[in-house]
Structure 1
Amino acid sequence: MSAQAHAINSIDDLTPYQKAAVLSIALGDEISAKLFKNLSKNEIEAISKEIAFMKKIDPNIYKAVVKEFYQMLKAKEYATSGGIEYAKEILVKTLGPEEARRIIDKLIKLLESNVGFGYLENIDPKQLVKFIQNEHPQTIAVILSHLDQSKAAEVLSLLPKEIQIDIVVRMASLENISPNVIKRVSEMLETKMEDLSGSNVEIGGIRAVSEIINRMGRTESKSLIDQISEKNPDLASKIRDMMFVFEDIIKLSNSDIQEILKHIDKKDLTIALKGAPEELSKKFFSNMSSRAAETLKEEMEFLGPVKVKDVERAQKAIVDIVRRLDEEGVISISGGGEEMLE
């Protein structure tokens, strides 16, 4: 789609080629010419067409594109020197958690596309399962490690139960993997899919596994962790340490609970507590005013039976907020339960 085909009101309206066109205009002919020397003929042609179609662009969009380009360069620089986690740590300090997360997500997708797995983003999980379910668990582990965590969780849950644990264990042990291995796996998929399109790449690991399992349903994730524990208790313990579920809120300090209550939707809390242990409900009630606690109890009774999926959705919404507050340093989920004395 060319730049003339629709109104461009924000940077999110731009395609990658349109962003490149805007950047080229902003940088000027001399610098753009140097950049074009590193592009393919097709890429130069596509960007040139977008430049030709562009008439008027809001100055704020120019600034936003240049800013994003600069941030991506810095993020890649940080990642090259200290890895993705180091880059995220630096960007959170300089840009804030939300902006840092956005830049890191784009950087990860860029790095993945550079090693031949960018096409996976557009593949339906059910379709992907059909292609990979008969592959070796190690091959599947490499593939899932290159997926967005939500999609990887869906693919993992659709794979045969008997191989899920083996795949998770192998993913947890992945740290650095040769580009040659990635290339072979990508070529293997290429022979099965008609539309598929050096230094080592850091993928997988226990953190990636915990993020994926966190995004699975509560029943499925608990069952999988229990099975992993039977085969590898140490690994299961490490995965649990990096996970945070709704029931873990009971471990947080009273001050953290009070902070959480300022940010969560009370309707979500009403539904979430319908499926929570009594001790956790009491923890929330004790950190509210008597009137607010009584009102919440009445609303829970008035609500009646609630579907499990609705409870899990509400609990996930609250956990997402808890994680965000932890990332922003507002609360701490790693040292919960330790009240400070004056």
Structure 2
Amino acid sequence: MVEPLAGFTPAPGSEGFAESLLSRPDRAAVFLMLLDDTEASTLISRLQPHELERLGAAMVALGEVDQTGMTEALADFVSEAQREVIPARDRAGDVRVLLERTLGLAKAESMMQRIAPDVQPFCVEVARWLAPAVLVRLIGDEHPQMIAALLLLIDPEPAAAVLSALPAPVQTEVIERIARAGPISRQAASTIDALLSQRIGANFGPSALLLGGPQEAANLINRAAGEVRGTVLPAIAERDAPLAAAIEDKLFTFEMLLALDPMAMGRLLRDVDSAQLVDALKGLTEEERTPFLAAMSSRAADGIRDEIELRGRIAKKDVVAAQRAIVEVAKALAAAGEIIMGSGDGDFV
């Protein structure tokens, strides 16, 4: 018999066992040891420090585990799994991400075509979110057959806008091919997907094909009503403090300062170093500088304009650093309730 780990209270016996032989941390430790090293490492990487400490102590303290102990650990896992629901939403997308991580993009796409042939190709889905002018730039010089196939794969309104932006001779050929077209084969859709992948990457960089991230999360929070920020970020911080910090860092942008009213802007400028302000405004157009300069006296505004001109060329990273420093000042003032950034629905915004 395997003795329960000292210091832990055994949980009630799992279904099918008269009494529990192992504590919950013991059973978790046994289950982890039944996995291979890669799987175990993946699970461990998701644990918080206190969880890892507790689990590690259980693994070290366990002696030899017999078949009864292993069976109890697996039964406990099954019991817990019965309480959970695995959502069906975007299952194909989840599978695609998993395959891309393990097989790479090319093999993953090939496998998705076998197991989910009706799933829309990834880059075609991205194309549905691109502005028509961008799509014209990406595929405008392609063969009319290729353009026609893409327009059939995206929504009618952007497709019509793309068509309108094409030269008249190309419009005629595209419409003729659309009128004659039958069902688009999976091979044709994959060819378009590969083309879009290459064109999007070449024009906007590989990151353009990445969805999500702290900035996208911050954008959603900034647009959400109510106290979303105050509810979501603390909950995320409990599980992943660096991720919560990365999202919060993206919540407040320098562009948000352009919407400050003159009184709030004046309060902000009192705490901003003049040299940092010059560097920050150096990266803006004259129109974008207006909210800052309008909150100053005419004499002070003219002085800042002169300093900007005399400053000469400045590295972009220095402009970004100066703007980031001013945002930090604004965040502190917002936290103290001295200014309001954004809509005013939350602690900061």
Q: Is this a same-fold pair by TM over 0.5?
A: no
- Greater Rg by CA: 2
Q: Normalized per residue, which structure has more helix?
A: 1
**TM-score, normalization by structure 1:** 0.33
